[in-house]
Chain A
Protein backbone atom coordinates (compact mmCIF):
# COMPACT_ATOMS: atom_id res chain seq x y z
CA UNK A 1 0.00 0.00 0.00
CA UNK A 2 2.24 2.78 -1.27
CA UNK A 3 -0.18 5.24 -2.81
CA UNK A 4 -3.57 6.05 -1.30
CA UNK A 5 -6.34 8.36 -2.41
CA UNK A 6 -9.10 9.89 -0.27
CA UNK A 7 -11.43 7.02 -1.02
CA UNK A 8 -8.92 4.46 0.31
CA UNK A 9 -8.32 6.54 3.38
CA UNK A 10 -12.01 6.99 4.13
CA UNK A 11 -12.71 3.31 3.57
CA UNK A 12 -10.17 2.41 6.24
CA UNK A 13 -11.52 4.70 8.93
CA UNK A 14 -12.82 1.92 11.18
CA UNK A 15 -9.67 -0.16 10.87
CA UNK A 16 -7.67 2.94 11.72
CA UNK A 17 -9.77 3.82 14.76
CA UNK A 18 -9.83 0.24 16.03
CA UNK A 19 -6.09 -0.29 15.57
CA UNK A 20 -6.58 -2.98 12.93
CA UNK A 21 -4.22 -1.54 10.29
CA UNK A 22 -0.84 -2.96 9.40
CA UNK A 23 2.07 -0.74 10.23
CA UNK A 24 2.77 0.28 6.62
CA UNK A 25 -0.91 1.10 6.01
CA UNK A 26 -1.04 3.08 9.23
CA UNK A 27 1.95 5.13 8.19
CA UNK A 28 0.59 6.00 4.74
CA UNK A 29 -2.87 6.84 6.05
CA UNK A 30 -1.60 8.94 8.94
CA UNK A 31 0.51 10.92 6.50
CA UNK A 32 -2.47 11.43 4.19
CA UNK A 33 -4.78 12.64 6.98
CA UNK A 34 -2.20 15.16 8.13
CA UNK A 35 -2.41 16.83 4.73
CA UNK A 36 -6.07 16.38 3.82
CA UNK A 37 -8.78 18.40 5.55
CA UNK A 38 -11.58 16.42 4.01
CA UNK A 39 -10.26 13.08 5.28
CA UNK A 40 -9.40 14.54 8.64
CA UNK A 41 -12.98 15.73 9.05
CA UNK A 42 -14.24 12.35 7.98
CA UNK A 43 -12.16 10.74 10.73
CA UNK A 44 -13.15 13.35 13.29
CA UNK A 45 -16.84 12.77 12.81
CA UNK A 46 -16.36 9.01 13.11
CA UNK A 47 -14.59 9.62 16.43
CA UNK A 48 -17.46 11.79 17.68
CA UNK A 49 -19.90 9.17 16.43
CA UNK A 50 -18.10 6.44 18.41
CA UNK A 51 -18.08 8.57 21.56
CA UNK A 52 -21.79 9.22 21.17
CA UNK A 53 -22.47 5.48 20.85
CA UNK A 54 -20.30 4.69 23.88
CA UNK A 55 -22.08 7.29 25.97
CA UNK A 56 -25.53 6.09 24.99
CA UNK A 57 -24.73 2.49 25.94
CA UNK A 58 -23.49 3.28 29.42
CA UNK A 59 -26.28 1.62 31.43
CA UNK A 60 -25.70 -0.18 34.70
CA UNK A 61 -27.62 -3.28 35.79
CA UNK A 62 -30.03 -3.10 38.72
CA UNK A 63 -28.42 -4.03 42.03
CA UNK A 64 -30.78 -6.97 42.56
CA UNK A 65 -29.35 -8.68 39.49
CA UNK A 66 -26.20 -9.76 41.32
CA UNK A 67 -28.34 -11.32 44.06
CA UNK A 68 -30.55 -13.09 41.53
CA UNK A 69 -27.52 -14.51 39.77
CA UNK A 70 -25.89 -15.70 43.01
CA UNK A 71 -29.12 -17.35 44.08
CA UNK A 72 -29.28 -19.18 40.78
CA UNK A 73 -25.66 -20.27 41.01
CA UNK A 74 -26.22 -21.62 44.54
CA UNK A 75 -29.19 -23.64 43.26
CA UNK A 76 -27.01 -25.12 40.55
CA UNK A 77 -24.30 -25.87 43.11
CA UNK A 78 -26.75 -27.59 45.45
CA UNK A 79 -27.95 -29.68 42.53
CA UNK A 80 -24.48 -30.99 41.76
Chain B
Protein backbone atom coordinates (compact mmCIF):
# COMPACT_ATOMS: atom_id res chain seq x y z
CA UNK B 1 0.00 0.00 0.00
CA UNK B 2 1.50 3.35 -1.02
CA UNK B 3 2.41 5.23 2.12
CA UNK B 4 2.10 8.77 0.89
CA UNK B 5 -1.27 10.39 0.94
CA UNK B 6 -1.35 14.06 0.16
CA UNK B 7 -3.11 16.45 2.47
CA UNK B 8 -5.70 16.88 -0.23
CA UNK B 9 -6.40 13.16 -0.38
CA UNK B 10 -6.57 12.89 3.39
CA UNK B 11 -9.12 15.70 3.67
CA UNK B 12 -11.14 14.36 0.73
CA UNK B 13 -11.11 10.87 2.16
CA UNK B 14 -12.31 11.97 5.58
CA UNK B 15 -15.02 14.33 4.33
CA UNK B 16 -16.35 13.01 1.03
CA UNK B 17 -15.86 9.25 1.25
CA UNK B 18 -18.24 8.69 4.18
CA UNK B 19 -21.01 9.89 1.82
CA UNK B 20 -20.48 6.87 -0.41
CA UNK B 21 -23.67 5.03 0.67
CA UNK B 22 -25.79 8.08 -0.22
CA UNK B 23 -23.99 8.51 -3.54
CA UNK B 24 -24.42 4.83 -4.32
CA UNK B 25 -28.15 5.02 -3.58
CA UNK B 26 -28.57 7.92 -5.99
CA UNK B 27 -26.29 6.27 -8.56
CA UNK B 28 -28.43 3.14 -8.48
CA UNK B 29 -31.47 5.23 -9.38
CA UNK B 30 -29.64 7.03 -12.17
CA UNK B 31 -28.20 3.87 -13.74
CA UNK B 32 -30.73 1.27 -12.61
CA UNK B 33 -28.13 -1.46 -12.13
CA UNK B 34 -25.41 -2.10 -9.54
CA UNK B 35 -22.43 -2.38 -11.85
CA UNK B 36 -23.09 0.91 -13.67
CA UNK B 37 -23.90 2.49 -10.32
CA UNK B 38 -20.46 1.52 -9.00
CA UNK B 39 -18.83 3.05 -12.08
CA UNK B 40 -20.84 6.23 -11.64
CA UNK B 41 -19.88 6.50 -7.97
CA UNK B 42 -16.21 6.00 -8.84
CA UNK B 43 -16.32 8.60 -11.63
CA UNK B 44 -18.15 11.05 -9.42
CA UNK B 45 -15.55 10.73 -6.67
CA UNK B 46 -12.74 11.03 -9.22
CA UNK B 47 -14.25 14.24 -10.63
CA UNK B 48 -14.97 15.60 -7.16
CA UNK B 49 -11.41 14.89 -6.05
CA UNK B 50 -10.10 16.73 -9.10
CA UNK B 51 -12.27 19.71 -8.21
CA UNK B 52 -11.70 19.48 -4.44
CA UNK B 53 -9.89 22.82 -4.40
CA UNK B 54 -13.06 24.45 -5.68
CA UNK B 55 -15.29 22.98 -3.01
CA UNK B 56 -16.06 25.68 -0.45
CA UNK B 57 -15.60 24.24 3.02
CA UNK B 58 -18.70 24.57 5.13
CA UNK B 59 -21.14 24.44 2.22
CA UNK B 60 -23.34 21.42 1.58
CA UNK B 61 -20.94 18.68 0.51
CA UNK B 62 -23.59 16.08 -0.25
CA UNK B 63 -25.45 18.43 -2.58
CA UNK B 64 -22.12 19.35 -4.24
CA UNK B 65 -21.37 15.66 -4.85
CA UNK B 66 -24.89 14.96 -6.13
CA UNK B 67 -24.53 17.82 -8.60
CA UNK B 68 -21.24 16.42 -9.87
CA UNK B 69 -22.98 13.06 -10.20
CA UNK B 70 -25.73 14.59 -12.35
CA UNK B 71 -23.15 16.00 -14.76
CA UNK B 72 -21.01 12.88 -14.68
CA UNK B 73 -23.96 10.71 -15.52
CA UNK B 74 -25.02 12.91 -18.40
CA UNK B 75 -21.47 12.91 -19.78
CA UNK B 76 -20.83 9.21 -19.21
CA UNK B 77 -23.92 8.13 -21.04
CA UNK B 78 -24.06 11.04 -23.44
CA UNK B 79 -27.70 11.31 -22.69
CA UNK B 80 -28.31 14.97 -23.28
CA UNK B 81 -30.27 14.54 -26.49
CA UNK B 82 -32.41 11.81 -25.10
CA UNK B 83 -33.10 13.83 -21.99
CA UNK B 84 -34.28 16.80 -23.96
CA UNK B 85 -36.83 14.61 -25.70
CA UNK B 86 -37.99 13.25 -22.38
CA UNK B 87 -38.56 16.61 -20.81
CA UNK B 88 -41.39 17.05 -23.29
CA UNK B 89 -43.24 15.19 -20.56
CA UNK B 90 -43.07 18.32 -18.47
CA UNK B 91 -45.41 19.98 -20.94
CA UNK B 92 -48.09 17.33 -20.77
CA UNK B 93 -51.31 18.21 -19.08
CA UNK B 94 -52.13 16.40 -15.88
CA UNK B 95 -54.86 14.32 -17.43
CA UNK B 96 -52.32 12.89 -19.87
CA UNK B 97 -50.03 11.61 -17.13
CA UNK B 98 -51.67 8.39 -16.04
CA UNK B 99 -54.97 8.25 -14.28
CA UNK B 100 -53.75 8.27 -10.67
CA UNK B 101 -56.16 10.88 -9.41
CA UNK B 102 -59.38 9.77 -11.06
CA UNK B 103 -58.84 6.23 -9.81
CA UNK B 104 -58.00 7.20 -6.27
CA UNK B 105 -61.07 9.40 -6.08
CA UNK B 106 -63.13 6.27 -5.55
CA UNK B 107 -60.46 4.19 -3.87
CA UNK B 108 -60.76 2.81 -0.39
CA UNK B 109 -57.52 4.39 0.66
CA UNK B 110 -56.70 2.25 3.62
CA UNK B 111 -56.92 -0.76 1.29
CA UNK B 112 -54.52 0.94 -1.07
CA UNK B 113 -52.13 1.79 1.73
CA UNK B 114 -52.20 -1.79 2.88
CA UNK B 115 -51.61 -3.09 -0.63
CA UNK B 116 -48.66 -0.74 -1.12
CA UNK B 117 -47.19 -1.67 2.19
CA UNK B 118 -47.22 -5.32 1.11
CA UNK B 119 -45.59 -4.82 -2.27
CA UNK B 120 -42.07 -6.30 -2.45
CA UNK B 121 -39.18 -3.81 -2.59
CA UNK B 122 -38.13 -5.16 -6.01
CA UNK B 123 -41.52 -4.21 -7.45
CA UNK B 124 -41.26 -0.68 -6.06
CA UNK B 125 -37.77 -0.31 -7.51
CA UNK B 126 -38.89 -1.66 -10.89
CA UNK B 127 -41.72 0.85 -10.95
CA UNK B 128 -39.35 3.68 -10.00
CA UNK B 129 -37.00 2.63 -12.77
CA UNK B 130 -39.81 2.83 -15.31
CA UNK B 131 -40.46 6.53 -14.85
CA UNK B 132 -38.21 9.01 -16.73
CA UNK B 133 -34.82 9.83 -15.15
CA UNK B 134 -35.60 13.44 -14.22
CA UNK B 135 -38.82 12.47 -12.49
CA UNK B 136 -37.31 9.47 -10.76
CA UNK B 137 -34.36 11.45 -9.42
CA UNK B 138 -36.55 14.24 -8.06
CA UNK B 139 -38.73 11.67 -6.29
CA UNK B 140 -35.60 9.99 -4.97
CA UNK B 141 -33.97 13.16 -3.67
CA UNK B 142 -37.19 14.41 -2.09
CA UNK B 143 -38.52 11.18 -0.61
CA UNK B 144 -35.45 9.08 0.16
CA UNK B 145 -32.85 11.79 0.79
CA UNK B 146 -35.35 14.26 2.19
CA UNK B 147 -33.67 17.18 0.42
CA UNK B 148 -35.41 20.58 0.22
CA UNK B 149 -36.78 21.59 -3.20
CA UNK B 150 -34.21 24.37 -3.56
CA UNK B 151 -31.36 21.92 -3.13
CA UNK B 152 -32.86 19.45 -5.60
CA UNK B 153 -33.24 22.33 -8.05
CA UNK B 154 -29.51 23.02 -7.80
CA UNK B 155 -28.56 19.37 -8.11
CA UNK B 156 -30.75 18.85 -11.17
CA UNK B 157 -30.05 22.32 -12.57
CA UNK B 158 -33.73 23.17 -12.98
CA UNK B 159 -36.02 25.84 -11.49
CA UNK B 160 -37.75 25.03 -8.19
CA UNK B 161 -41.13 25.02 -9.95
CA UNK B 162 -39.91 22.18 -12.17
CA UNK B 163 -38.81 20.20 -9.12
CA UNK B 164 -42.27 20.63 -7.66
CA UNK B 165 -44.14 19.54 -10.75
CA UNK B 166 -41.76 16.63 -11.36
CA UNK B 167 -42.25 15.41 -7.82
CA UNK B 168 -46.03 15.57 -8.21
CA UNK B 169 -46.02 13.89 -11.59
CA UNK B 170 -43.34 11.38 -10.71
CA UNK B 171 -45.26 10.21 -7.68
CA UNK B 172 -48.44 10.05 -9.68
CA UNK B 173 -46.85 7.92 -12.39
CA UNK B 174 -45.34 5.67 -9.76
CA UNK B 175 -48.61 5.30 -7.94
CA UNK B 176 -50.46 4.39 -11.13
CA UNK B 177 -47.87 1.69 -11.91
CA UNK B 178 -48.12 0.27 -8.40
CA UNK B 179 -51.92 0.36 -8.41
CA UNK B 180 -51.90 -1.64 -11.64
CA UNK B 181 -49.51 -4.13 -10.14
CA UNK B 182 -51.49 -4.45 -6.91
CA UNK B 183 -54.67 -5.09 -8.87
CA UNK B 184 -52.97 -7.82 -10.90
CA UNK B 185 -51.96 -9.39 -7.63
CA UNK B 186 -55.60 -9.52 -6.63
CA UNK B 187 -55.85 -6.53 -4.30
CA UNK B 188 -59.19 -4.79 -4.46
CA UNK B 189 -58.51 -1.10 -4.57
CA UNK B 190 -61.76 0.18 -5.97
CA UNK B 191 -63.97 -0.30 -2.97
CA UNK B 192 -66.79 -2.14 -4.77
CA UNK B 193 -67.92 -3.63 -1.50
CA UNK B 194 -68.19 -0.26 0.17
CA UNK B 195 -70.44 1.00 -2.62
CA UNK B 196 -72.92 -1.90 -2.74
Q: Which A residues fall within an 8 A CB radius of B?
A: 14-15, 18-20, 41-42, 44-46, 48-50, 52-62, 65-66, 68-70, 72-74, 76-78, 80
Which residue of B13, B20, B113 is within 8 Å of A48 (Cβ)? B113
- Nearest residue (CB) in A for B107 is A45
Min CB gap B126→A, angstroms? 9
* A46-B171, A69-B41, A73-B46 known, 18 other contacts, Cβ within 8 Å: A15-B164, A18-B146, A45-B113, A45-B116, A48-B117, A52-B117, A52-B119, A53-B174, A55-B124, A57-B25, A59-B25, A61-B24, A62-B34, A69-B17, A69-B20, A70-B17, A72-B42, A72-B46
Q: Interface residues of B: mostly helix, strand, loop or mixed?
A: helix
Tally of B interface residues using CB under 8 Å? 50
**Contacts between the two chains (Cβ within 8 Å), count:** 113
In the complex, are the beta carbons of B28 and A59 less than 8 A apart?
A: yes
**Closest 10 pairs (CB-CB, A-B):** A56-B124, A56-B121, A61-B24, A41-B109, A48-B113, A45-B113, A57-B144, A45-B109, A53-B143, A69-B45
Q: Which residue of A14, A18, A20, A69 has the most chain B CB atoms within 10 A of its CB atom?
A: A69
With A52-B124, A56-B125, A57-B29: A14-B20 Cβ-Cβ less than 8 Å: no
